[in-house]
Homo-oligomer: A and B are copies of this chain.
Amino acid sequence: MSELGYDADLPAHVERALGAFLGRAGEEICRTEPSVHTGIDALSEFVLGGGKRLRPTFAWWAWRGAGGDPAGADAEGVVQAAASLELIQACALIHDDLIDSSDSRRGSPTVHIAFAKHHADNGWLGSPATFGLAAAVLIGDLALAWADDMFADAPLPPATMARARPAWRAMRTEVLAGQYLDMRTQATGDTSVEAALRIDMLKTAAYTVQRPLHLGASLAGADDELIGTLLQFGGDVGVAFQLRDDLLGVFGDPSVTGKPAGDDLREGKRTLLVALGLERAAQQGRTGAVTVITDAIGNADLADTDVDNVRQTLVEVGAVDAVEQRIDELTGTAMAALDRAHLAGPAPAELTELVVKATKRAY
């Protein structure tokens, strides 16, 4: 494996590592119990079937930026440790889809839907939906357990692994806390700007950017000051990334995002965009605008014309401009932190490109 290989085509290396791990782990348990192969295959297809590999990429460039050598003895182990983040993400998505009753992801049926169909197609006993629920819970659990196995068994020196444990620990707890906060906020109906920002910080910034950077940097032996600077960078990038996602969830082109227009509204997502829309409409005394937004949130039967109405309202009260401005500010402070980090090698340029992709993307 040449050092150029890793830097130039990281996603391919991440997929190779995931494929090798899933092959080994799946073969081992299927030797004991062959009938579980349907579940293992579903997990493998899910993990190897796509995704932007964003978390491993942030981890890799933090490792490189903190002095990791792509031609050194640790490089392959770092790829394996970074790739294991995709298994945490598989658990998060499979369980999230179950909780949200989502039917499809990346153009395929979600796991609970696919297994309910498998049950129904075979004319098995009991309820297909219960079978789908059970399969999604267990396959998500397996992904989480295997994430730990893949991470812990990465071929790296014990001292290196010990340095990375705090980031690994924090990441898994934070994403679960973020999901918990998210569902609690939807239930209590808290539409405040503060609640939206706290969810963005935990569920996206910490989990998707900060902790992967933290993990990569600590695998390279970074000191607390550098890790602190990377956490600032990651927090700002992560929130900006989520704000872009929120805008795309309402204004995005379905043919590009792959999601029906306005689905975030129908699902009742508590985003900063919506929180600012409500706050500003109230401040401006536009009670009609407040009603338009409030009635749309969580309304599963929302028509496309209603979505257009909400869009227009969010623009008129200035919420869209405010979110765009916030993205610009966060991008600015993130880039300043990146400068202060004085990262090595091609890391600054690569991370800058990731920031641009994450905050300016159309999908």
Q: Tell me if A187 and B149 are in contact (CB < 8 A).
A: no
**Number of copies of this kind of chain in the complex:** 2
Knowing A91-B141, A137-B98, A153-B165 touch, does A32 contact B158 (C-beta < 8 A)? no
Any B CB within 8 A of the CB of A238 = no
Is A263 positioned at the interface, with any CB of B under 8 Å from its CB? no
Q: Which one of B33, B98, B119, B198 lies within 8 Å of A177 (CB-CB)?
A: B33
0 or 1 for each of A19-59: is its CB under 8 Å from B? (1 = yes): 00000010011001101100100000000000000000000
The interface size of chain A toward B, counting residues with CB under 8 Å, comes to 59
A325 in the interface, Cβ–Cβ < 8 Å?
Answer: no
Among B35, B126, B149, B184, point to the contact of A181 (Cβ < 8 A). Answer: B35
Min CB distance A245 to B, Å, is: 20
Residues of B within 8 A of A104 (CB): none
Are B145 and A172 closer than 8 Å at their CB atoms? yes
* Contacting residues of chain A (91-146) with chain B, CB-CB under 8 angstroms: 91, 95, 98-99, 101, 119, 122, 124-126, 130-131, 133-135, 137-138, 140-142, 144-146
Determine if A174 is an interface residue (Cβ-Cβ < 8 Å): yes
Query: Nearest B residue to A297 by beta-carbon distance?
Result: B125
Complex Cα spacing A149 to B145, Å: 11
Kindly identify, within residues 156 to 209 of chain A, every residue whose CB is under 8 Å from any CB belonging to chain B: 158, 162, 165, 169-170, 172-174, 176-181, 183-184, 186-189, 198, 202
- Given A126-B186, A148-B148, A189-B125, are A142 and B36 also a contact pair (CB < 8 Å)? no
Q: A354 at interface (Cβ–Cβ under 8 A)?
A: no
Tell me whether A298 is interfacial, beta carbon within 8 Å. Answer: yes
Q: A131 touching B187 by the CB < 8 A rule?
A: yes
Q: A126-B186, A186-B125 are in contact. Are A173 and B28 (CB under 8 A)?
A: yes
The answer to whether A183 touches B95 (Cβ under 8 A) is no
Question: Smallest Cβ distance from A175 to chain B, in angstroms?
Answer: 9
Question: Given the complex, which residues of B lie within 8 Å of A322, measured CB to CB?
Answer: none
Instruction: Give the residue of B126, B134, B173 whose beta carbon is less than 8 angstroms from that of A29.
Output: B173
A186 contacts which chain B residues (CB < 8 A)? 125-126
A179 to B138, CA, bound (A): 8
Given A137-B137, A298-B125, CB of A180 within 8 Å of CB of B39:
yes
Most chain B beta carbons < 10 A, residue from A99, A137, A172, A174 = A137
Alpha-carbon separation in the docked complex, A268 to B181 (Å):
36
Shortest Cβ distance from residue A169 to the other chain B in the assembled complex, whole angstroms? 5
Any chain B CB within 8 A of the CB of A302? Answer: no
CB contact between A95 and one of B141, B178, B179 (< 8 Å): that residue: B141
28 CB < 8 A contacts A-B: A25-B173, A32-B177, A33-B178, A33-B202, A35-B184, A36-B181, A39-B180, A98-B137, A99-B134, A99-B138, A122-B187, A124-B187, A126-B186, A126-B268, A137-B137, A137-B140, A138-B180, A142-B173, A145-B148, A145-B172, A148-B148, A148-B152, A149-B169, A152-B165, A153-B165, A153-B169, A158-B158, A158-B162
Apart from A142-B176, A149-B172, 4 more pairs, CB < 8 Å = A98-B133, A125-B298, A138-B183, A153-B169
Chain A interface (Cβ < 8 Å from any Cβ of B): 25, 28-29, 32-33, 35-36, 39, 91, 95, 98-99, 101, 119, 122, 124-126, 130-131, 133-135, 137-138, 140-142, 144-146, 148-149, 152-153, 158, 162, 165, 169-170, 172-174, 176-181, 183-184, 186-189, 198, 202, 268, 298
